[in-house]
Structure 1
Amino acid sequence: MSAPARAFGARLREAVETRGRIVVGIDPHASLLQDWGLEDTPEGLAAFSRVALDAVAEEVCAIKPQSAFFERHGSAGVAVLEELLEAARARGVLSILDVKRGDIGSTMAAYAEAHLLPGAPGEADAITLSPYLGTGSLDPAVRLATEHGKGLFLLALTSNPDGPQVQHALTGGHTPVAREIARHAEESGSGEPGEWGSVGLVVGATVGDAYRSLGLDRAAPSAPLLAPGFGAQGAGPAQMREVFDDNAGHVLVSWSRGVLSVGPDPARLKARVQELREQYS
C-alpha cells in the first residue's frame, strides 16, 4: 500500500524556504516568441518552454504556465504544455497551472481529474480555480486535491480593475464575497497547526488595502497567497508589506514578462530571477 501523498501546502512552504518566493509564469505570448527569435508555432512554444524551465528551475519555488497560450495552438500546443509539466516534475519543480477552471458537478470533477489526478496527461501540482459559481461547486476539486496531495488557488481579489464589482460585493449575510472565498479556502485546505494550507488564494499585489480591510487576512491565515501584479502592473517590494502586512510571509511573488523579456539567454534569465529573489527575500 502506497504512503499517503504529502500535503501540497507543506511541499510549497518547503520550496519557498529552499528556493525563495518567486514564481515565474511561463507565458509564451506571440510578442515574446518574436522577441526570442522564435516562430509562433508549437515548435516555438516547445523551445521557449525548455529554455525558460532550464534557466529558472533551481531559482524558483514554482513555475506557473498560463494554459491559454498553449491551448491557442490546439492539440499540438496542449502537448507542449503536458511536456513542460512532466519536465518540471522530473526536475523537482512545483507547477501551478493557471487554468482558472470553474463549473459544477461532474464537469468540475472532470476538470479536476484532468489536472490533479496523478498520471493524468495534464497533471500539475496545483491549479487556479474560479469560485464564482459558489464555493460548494469546487468540492470535487477539493476532494481530489486532498486525496492526492495537490493544491488549489481560488481567485479572491484579482488585479484587474473590474474585480471589485463582484469580489467586494456583500453576500446576503453582509460578508464580502472575497472574504467568504477566503473562509472556504481556510476550511478546505488548512493543514496541521503552524503549516500552510493546501488551498490558497489569488490576491493581486495591486489591490491596495482590500486584502486587510475586507478581512481576508483573518479569514484565511494559513492560506498561501499567489500574488500577480508585480513588475509590469506596477507592484514592487513595498507592496509586500503595504498589501499583505503580517501575512507577507505567505506570498508567492508572481513574475512573467519582467523575467521572460530578458531572454532567450539562459544566463540572463537566471540572473534576473536571482536578482528578484534578493529583492523579495
Structure 2
Amino acid sequence: MSARNPAGPTPSTPSAAPFGARLRRAMDDRGPLCVGIDPHGSLLTDWGLDDDVAGLERFTRTTVEALADRVAVLKPQSAFFERFGSRGIAVLEKAVAEAREAGALVLMDAKRGDIGSTMGAYAATYLDPASPLFSDAVTLSPYLGFGSLRPALDAASAAGCGVFVLALTSNPEGAEVQRATAADGRPLARLMLDHMAAENAGARPLGSVGAVVGATLGDLGDVVDLAINGPLLAPGIGAQGATPADLPAVFGAAVGNVVPSVSRGVLRHGPDIRALRKAADRFADEVRTAVGGGTADR
C-alpha cells in the first residue's frame, strides 16, 4: 500500500470538506480500515516496554510512524493515555497532530456523553480547531438522550468534523439498554439510528454522523435499519472474534459504509514497523475483498 494523503486539507476552518466526504475518499484510497491505538499495560509488556510514560510514548510513536501514512483512520483510546495524567495527555496530543499531518483521519475514542455546558466543553476539547486535542471525529454516547449531543453535533458541523454515536455495541451488557423499547415502541438503538439518519439527510457522498455497531452481533436486519447515510464504525474485528468475511452478514446493504476497527489484531505485531504495516495491509485487503472493493495498490 503506497503512502498517500487522501484525506485532503486539515479542517482548520469551516470551509474544509466535511468529514464524511474526507472519510469516503480515505476509505476508497487507503482501504476501509480503522486501527485502534490502545496502549494497555499488557500490550506494552508484549512489546518489551515498561508500563510507564516512556513506554507509552515509544508505543504510540511507533504505531503512528508505521500506520499514519497508509490506513484511513487511526483511533486512539483516550483512557489509556489519561491514566498517566498530564504526561499521558501530552503524548496523545503529539500523536493526534502527527497522525493527521501524515494523512490519517484521527477518531478520538472518548465516548463522551453529558448535557448542556459540559457537553459543550467536551465538544471544545475534541472538535475545536484551537484545541491541542482537535481530532477529525470523536465517539459519543447518546444515552442521556440524542438531543444532549447537540453541542457536539453543531461543533463538528462547524469545523468539518464528524462524530460516531454508540448504537449497538458488541459488549453483552449493552443489550439491556440498546435493545430496550423506547416510548414509541422502537428499539432504543433504532431510535438513535433514526436520529443519525436525520442528521445525515441530503449529505453526499456520505454524512458525517456515524454509528458504532459491533461486528460480532450477527444479522441485525430484524432489529434496526443501518442505512443512515453515514459511516458505520464496526469494532470487534480480530481479537474479539469477528472477521472481515462476517461484515456482509451483519451490515447487509450498508456494508459499503462500514469502517471495521481492529486494534490488537494489528498491534500485536509490534514493535516491528514492517510487521505492523503488513498486518494493517492484510486486514485492509481482506475488508476490500469482503465488501467487494478488490485489493489496494501496493
TM-score, normalised with respect to structure 1: 0.95
Alpha carbons of 1:32 and 1:84: their partners in 2 closer, same or farther (altered >3 Å)? same
Instruction: Specify which of 143, 153, 157 is matched with residue 146 of structure 1.
Output: 157
State yes or no: 1:203 paired with 2:213. yes
Distance in 2, matches of 1:197 and 1:252, equals 14
Aligned to 1:243: 250
2:144 counterpart of 1:137:
no
- The residue that corresponds to 1:108 in the other structure is 119
Aligned residue among 37, 52, 65 for 1:54:
65
SS at match of 1:64: strand
**What letter matches 1:197 in structure 2?**
G
Aligned ranges 1:86-101 → 2 under 5 Å = 86-101=97-112
CA distance in 1: counterparts of 2:26 and 2:50, whole angstroms = 34
2:281 matched to 1:270?
A: no
Q: Which residue of 1 aligns with 2:294?
A: none
Q: 1:183-262 to 2 correspondence within 5 Å?
A: 183-193=194-204, 195-210=205-220, 212-218=221-227, 220=228, 222-262=229-269
| Amino acid in the other structure paired with 1:214 | V
* CA-to-aligned-CA distance 1:18-67 (integer Å, 9 cap, x gap): 10011110000111111111111112111111110111123211100000
8 Å CA contact 2:99, 2:106 repeated in 1 = yes
CA-to-aligned-CA distance 1:180-234 (integer Å, 9 cap, x gap): 11111122234534x1110000000011123x2122324x1x1100000111111
Question: Sequence identity, in percent?
Answer: 50
Q: 1:3 to 1:209 in 2, by over 3 A?
A: closer
Unaligned runs of 5+ in 1: none
Which position in structure 2 is the counterpart of 1:75? 86
Unaligned runs of 5+ in 2: 1-12, 289-298
Match of 2:182 in 1: 171
Report how many residues are paired.
Answer: 276
Aligned partners of 1:171, 1:119: CA distance in 2, in Å? Answer: 38
Cα distance in 1, alignment partners of residues 274 and 26 from structure 2:
22
Mapped to 2, the partners of 1:141 and 1:189 lie a distance apart of 15
Let me know the Cα RMSD of the aligned residues: 1.2
How much has 1:99 moved relative to structure 2?
0.2
User: Which residue type is aligned with residue 111 of structure 2?
Assistant: K
In 1, the alpha carbon distance for the partners of 2:190 and 2:86 equals 38
